[in-house]
């Protein structure tokens, strides 16, 4: 019996010892570490012109060996969590990411109150007779369109007192934060790089062109405008801009933070080119040759290049429309506007030659008093080296065109003839030449023309019509069409 009891006691002893051992050595909890912008040793920012930025944030961090939770603060509010990567620059194999989270439940008065629904809070109010603040204990029953309290056995709302909360709920944070559960094998301070994509930051190109007196040459300044609404600032960043049509998957995106601050506009003084351009895949990268700070909710301009005395070709264009040729009426649209264009060649011998990102060109010219006046603007697409940039200025005021159909007949079931007369009147004090582009449908043949023509495209006939100052010129032609 004693032996049996001894066995039982011994069993109890070992079980108790195991329980005691487990209690004395509970599972190790991961160390919690935090890092802010104060630890930052460098940041590189690549901005795409499709409302996208790539951030590479380097920080010196003292990471505990083994399992640890790293709270990486001061990241962009519009970060794309699925794009995040982290690595150790000291030893890429020293860090293993076990879990990755993006915390964006940010503090606000509404959210703080919501977290305390059903809990006791304190209400401070001033006694109007004693001028002293009195403390009232209350239970927050609801926070829908304003807090509702229970004080004692009574319910009240619109309480005038200040609300004092006992603490900060763990689930709320002050700023967007990346949280990693890491397994670290390197027991020393190391440089860690976190990289991620963020929405809310983009850039565009703007160009300022100044024509000379006779519109034969121009000065051209290129600017880049960076608009940062990503929810983060990038101080002394290595800045790269990518120009090109980068494809993105269109997903429904919910912004986790709405910005309501004003935009700060900064313009750098015109200077020598500050960007180095290079081809990259099917795009072009422009690297700023100095650090730059891009603040949150800021629009910043930086000079891209300056070029002077660029040869310019000015053109007057009078273009018809196809439906003229399907009309048997004598009347067609008359007194159409004559467009005015300027064209420059993006080539090195003309003091350009850099691939030009798409953007808006604004054109100016000095008046008789020397004042700079705005005369037109147009959008251009990406313009490669040795291609031409064509800008529509507007419509001519003193150069007027009219068109008249003087004959139209059916020759066969599928064959027609049409004759037109185009008149160009020039009220300017100098001679002009107007390029007339006439769309001709089907399989066509020019039967007669008062001026030489060229076949610009399969279905267009082009004429060059010189017009003397205060003069008038006529163009008459007959065409046979089969369609």
Does residue 314 have a pLDDT over 90?
A: yes
Contact of 315 with 344, CB cutoff 8 Å:
no
What does R_g of the chain's alpha carbons equal in angstroms? 37
Residues 428 and 402 in one domain: yes
Rounded-to-integer distance, Cα 47 and Cα 428, Å: 47
73-82, 267-276, 455-464: the lowest-pLDDT one: 267-276
Same domain, residue pair 393 and 448: yes
Main-chain phi, psi angles of 328, to 5 degrees:
-100, 5
Q: Which two tokens stand for residue 303?
A: 């000079």
* Res. 30: pLDDT tops 90: no
Counting the structural domains of the chain, the total is 3
Pair (101, 115) in one structural domain: no
**pLDDT at residue 415, as a whole number:** 93
The confidence score (pLDDT) of residue 123 equals 86
Residue 224: is its pLDDT beyond 90? Answer: yes
- Residue-number span of the structural domain to which 139 is assigned: 109-164
3-state SS class at 158: coil
DSSP state, residue 92: T
Q: Which of 183, 198, 213 is at the close of a domain?
A: 198
Contact, 336 vs 401, CB < 8 A?
yes
Mean pLDDT to the nearest integer, 417-421: 92
- pLDDT over 70 percentage in the chain: 83
The answer to whether residues 116 and 56 belong to one domain is: no
Q: Identify whether 281 is part of a domain.
A: no
More confident site: 439 or 244: 439
Q: What is the mean pLDDT of residues 245-252?
A: 68
pLDDT of res. 266:
38
The neighbour count for residue 237, using CB atoms within 10 Å, is: 21
Q: What is the pLDDT of residues 338-382, one digit of tens each?
A: 999 999 999 999 989 889 999 999 999 999 999 999 999 999 999
pLDDT, residue 14, reads 42
411 lies in some domain: yes
| Domain identity same for 37 and 77 | yes
Two structure tokens written together for 429: 């004090």
H/E element holding 425? strand 415-426
pLDDT at 109: 76
CATH label of the domain that carries residue 184:
2.60.40
* Same domain, residue pair 49 and 122: no
Neighbours of 262 (CB within 10 A): 8
Residue 304 belongs to some domain of the structure: no
Higher-confidence residue: 403 or 246? 403
Any domain includes 265: no
Is residue 188 domain-shared with residue 325, that is, in the same domain?
no
Rounded to whole angstroms, the Cα distance separating 426 from 364 reads 23
- The Cβ of residue 254 has, within 10 Å, a number of other Cβ atoms equal to 4
Residues 401 and 445 in one domain: yes
Q: Is residue 143 part of a domain?
A: yes
Last residue of a domain, one of 164, 187, 209: 164
Within 63-104, strands assigned E span 66-73, 85-88, 95-103
170 or 102, which is more confident: 102
Asked if the model's pLDDT at residue 167 lies above 80, the reply is: no
Are 333 and 189 members of one domain?
Answer: no
Residue 4 is assigned to a structural domain of this protein: no
State the pLDDT at residue 6: 40
What mean pLDDT comes out for the span 172-180? Answer: 75
Tell me, yes or no, whether 309 lies in a domain.
no
Question: Would you say residue 7 has pLDDT above 50?
Answer: no
The pLDDT score that the predictor gives to residue 174 is 62
Do 130 and 72 share a structural domain? no
Report CA torsion sign: 172, 193, 195, 298. Answer: positive
Long-range contacts of 367-375 (CB under 8 A, 24+ apart): 372/210, 375/211
pLDDT digits (tens, 9 = 90+) for 183-210: 988 877 889 999 999 999 999 999 999 9
Is residue 412 exposed (0-12), middle (13-18) or buried (19+ Cβ within 10 Å)?
exposed
Regarding whether 185 and 84 lie in a shared domain, the answer is: yes
pLDDT of residue 77: 87
Q: Which of 156, 167, 110, 120 is nearest to 140 (CA)?
A: 120
Last residue of a domain, one of 151, 182, 198: 198
How does strand 471-482 pair with strand 443-449?
Answer: antiparallel
List, in sequence order, every beta strand (DSSP E) within 273-387. 275-280, 283-288, 292-294, 298-311, 313-319, 339-345, 359-366, 372-380
413 domain residue, yes or no: yes
127 shares a domain with 58: no
* Percent of the chain predicted with pLDDT > 90: 47
Q: What is the mean pLDDT of the chain?
A: 83
């Amino acid at each position: 019996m004693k032996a049996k009891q001894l066995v039982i006691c011994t069993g109890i002893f070992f079980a108790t010892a195991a329980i005691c051992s487990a209690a004395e050595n509970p599972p190790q909890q991961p160390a919690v570490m935090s890092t802010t912008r104060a630890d930052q040793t460098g940041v590189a920012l690549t901005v795409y012109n499709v409302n996208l930025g790539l951030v590479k944030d380097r920080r010196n961090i003292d990471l505990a060996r083994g399992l640890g939770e790293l709270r990486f603060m001061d990241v962009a509010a519009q970060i794309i969590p699925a794009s995040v990567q982290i690595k150790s620059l000291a030893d890429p194999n020293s860090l293993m990411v076990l879990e990755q989270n993006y915390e964006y439940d940010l503090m606000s008065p509404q959210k703080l109150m919501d977290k305390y629904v059903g809990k006791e809070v304190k209400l401070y109010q001033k006694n109007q007779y004693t001028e002293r603040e009195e403390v009232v204990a209350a239970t927050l029953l609801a926070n829908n369109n304003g807090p509702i309290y229970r004080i004692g056995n009574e319910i009240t709302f619109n309480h005038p007192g200040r609300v004092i909360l006992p603490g900060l709920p763990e689930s709320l944070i002050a700023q967007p934060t990346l949280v990693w559960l890491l397994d670290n094998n390197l027991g020393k301070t190391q440089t860690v790089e976190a990289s991620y994509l963020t929405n809310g930051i983009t850039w565009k190109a703007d160009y300022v062109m100044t024509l000379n007196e006779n519109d034969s040459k121009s000065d051209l300044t290129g600017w880049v405008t960076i608009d940062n609404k990503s929810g983060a600032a990038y101080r002394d960043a290595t800045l790269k801009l990518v120009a090109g049509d980068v494809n993105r998957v269109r997903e429904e995106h919910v912004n986790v933070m709405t910005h309501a601050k004003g935009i700060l506009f900064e313009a750098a003084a015109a200077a020598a080119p500050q960007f180095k351009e290079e081809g990259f895949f099917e795009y072009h990268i422009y690297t700023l040759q100095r650090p730059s700070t891009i603040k949150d909710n800021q629009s910043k301009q930086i000079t891209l290049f300056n070029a002077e005395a660029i040869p310019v070709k000015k053109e007057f264009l009078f273009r018809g429309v196809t439906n003229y040729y399907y009309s048997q009426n004598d009347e067609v649209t008359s007194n159409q506007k004559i467009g005015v264009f300027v064209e420059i060649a993006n080539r090195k011998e003309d003091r350009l030659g850099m691939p030009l990102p798409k953007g808006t060109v604004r054109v100016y010219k000095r008046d008789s008093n020397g004042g700079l006046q705005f005369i037109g603007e147009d959008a251009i697409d990406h313009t490669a080296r040795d291609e031409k940039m064509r800008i529509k200025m507007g419509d001519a005021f003193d150069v007027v065109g009219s068109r008249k159909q003087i004959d139209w007949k059916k020759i066969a079931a599928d064959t027609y003839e049409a004759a037109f007369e185009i008149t160009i009147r020039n009220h300017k004090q100098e001679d002009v030449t107007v390029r007339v582009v006439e769309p001709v449908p089907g399989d066509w043949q020019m039967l007669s023309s008062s001026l030489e023509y060229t076949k610009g495209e399969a279905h267009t006939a082009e004429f060059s019509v010189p017009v003397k100052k205060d003069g008038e010129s006529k163009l008459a032609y007959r065409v046979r069409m089969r369609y």
